[in-house]
Amino acid sequence: MSPALTADRAEARDIFRELIEINTTDTPKGSVTAGTVAMQKRFLNAGFPPEDVHLLGPDPNKQNLVVRMRAAAPTTKKPVLFLCHMDVVEALPSDWHTNPFEFVEKDGFFYGRGTQDMKESDAAMVATFLRLHREGYKPKRDLILALTADEESGKFNGAQWLVKEHRDLVDAAYVINLDAGGIELDNGRTVVADVEATEKVYADYQVTATNPGGHSSRPRSDNAIYELTTALNKLAAYSFPFELNEVTRTYFRNLVGQETGQTAQDINAILANPPDMAAAARLSAEPSFNSNFRTTCVATRLIAGHANNALAQTAQANVNCRIFPGHSPEEIRGELISVFGDSKLSVKYVSDAGGVFDVAPERKAIVPPAPLKEVFDPLTRITQQIWPGVPVTPVMENGASDSIYFAQAGIPCYGYSAIALERDDDRAHGQDERLPVDSYWKSLDFFYSFTKALGGE
């Protein structure tokens, strides 16, 4: 350890080390509870009142920790919740050059499973709460930190469970989810700071064609494989309707200054009222734009037939959809059925846990309002103090995080880690996961100031 570390940084480093060295994978060796109990101990030792430090969850191995820093005086202002997941993806030591469950500092990086996703942020928030408490900081509204289980995998998703079973503990004006967003670097140059302000909904569908089958020497006019592939080809040719919401509109407005030529013209044209559909079609050729414009559905797996010399009795595909906010999985199931246009096909919903259902959930992600000024003003100001000149923009994530459970409960979520990473050094879930040491210190600086700004100074 560098002798020059301040006491605050030394503590933050030690918390990070402790968390990396606790295996919180969803495996027999892993325990989220070991991690949350270690953090609970730190809060209690620091003098947080036990009634504000809650360890709870539906499974003994998947306990969540919810810590509340109380407002100095009673207030009608709702709390701010900081959301962090404690679980990590499994790491095979044989794939790594260091032990993934040992915290190693080497060549300006911290190595270990979870250094990017997301023990760096768990540690930064724990360190921030402890530091503010030590300094006698009293917020003007309650600040809550939730360290949760099963974001990556497992049946006991902590964010979902807390919203459903203990809404009182996690109810907030809005959520800052540190599991998303951040600063993109290109060879050390800061390119952009992304803040996730809404996200698509993930849904899988099982599409099945069935047939009595028979001997392949006597083909019939009806055939399960042809029926399924005909339907999938219709899907391949189909585009869901073009849409913008307040978040993607702001994103494209911010992007237009960085683009040139036809792309810049086309972006301006889709922002016009009404949007120019020819421009939207041209931009949609770029997959990242396309997925920002609409719900997307794509076949990802196929199984069919049972013998080389038999007519298939079953042909089945998985269709994976990323649903634009404002639409429900059931609405998209209906749309798939009409795109396929074949009443003999069955289209069922597949849940995250793998269950297959005739009907999909009706619940839709809320259409995001314009990003809250109360969040974006300090976020932008503090980001630009630390990374001068970097543009800050709200984005719609095409992936999915635990924000969705809060968004569905009507609580706006903003995903921002304040972690600066090289664009080509994303090692989350991969081997030799690592974080630049300097990025860790900067995220600490950011969350120290940002937490105070949101809590009121």
Residues that bind Zn ion (CB under 5 A): 117-118, 179
Cis peptide before 277 (omega within 30 of 0): no
Of the candidates 99, 132, 131, which has an alpha carbon nearest to the alpha carbon of residue 115?
99
Smaller CB distance to Zn ion: residue 20 or 118?
118
Smaller CB distance to Zn ion: residue 89 or 232?
89
Smaller CB distance to Zn ion: residue 293 or 416?
416
Smaller CB distance to Zn ion: residue 120 or 142?
120
Smaller CB distance to Zn ion: residue 117 or 199?
117
Smallest distance, Zn ion to C-beta of residue 122, A: 10
Smallest distance, Zn ion to C-beta of residue 134, A: 28
Smallest distance, Zn ion to C-beta of residue 140, A: 30
What is the distance between the alpha carbons of residues 20 and 17, in angstroms, rounded to a whole number?
5
Smaller CB distance to Zn ion: residue 26 or 179?
179
Residue 182 falls in which region: left (phi positive, over 0), alpha (psi -120 to 50) or beta: left
Contact 81, 405 (CB under 8 A): no
Question: Coil, helix or strand for 342?
Answer: coil
What is the distance between the alpha carbons of residues 132 and 174, in angstroms, rounded to a whole number?
20
Smallest distance, Zn ion to C-beta of residue 422, A: 18
Smaller CB distance to Zn ion: residue 26 or 117?
117
Smallest distance, Zn ion to C-beta of residue 114, A: 9
Smaller CB distance to Zn ion: residue 117 or 266?
117
Helix H or strand E encompassing 404: helix 403-408
Smallest distance, Zn ion to C-beta of residue 87, A: 8
* Residues 6 or more apart in contact with residue 134 via CB below 8 angstroms: 46
Of the candidates 83, 89, 88, 45, which has an alpha carbon nearest to the alpha carbon of residue 65?
83
What is the distance between the alpha carbons of residues 235 and 345, in angstroms, rounded to a whole number?
14
Contact 378, 453 (CB under 8 A): yes
Smallest distance, Zn ion to C-beta of residue 154, A: 13
Spell out the long-range contacts of 51-56 with Cβ–Cβ below 8 A and sequence spacing 24 or more: 54/169, 56/166
What is the distance between the alpha carbons of residues 418 and 408, in angstroms, rounded to a whole number?
25
Smallest distance, Zn ion to C-beta of residue 197, A: 17
Of the candidates 3, 103, 124, 35, which has an alpha carbon nearest to the alpha carbon of residue 445?
124
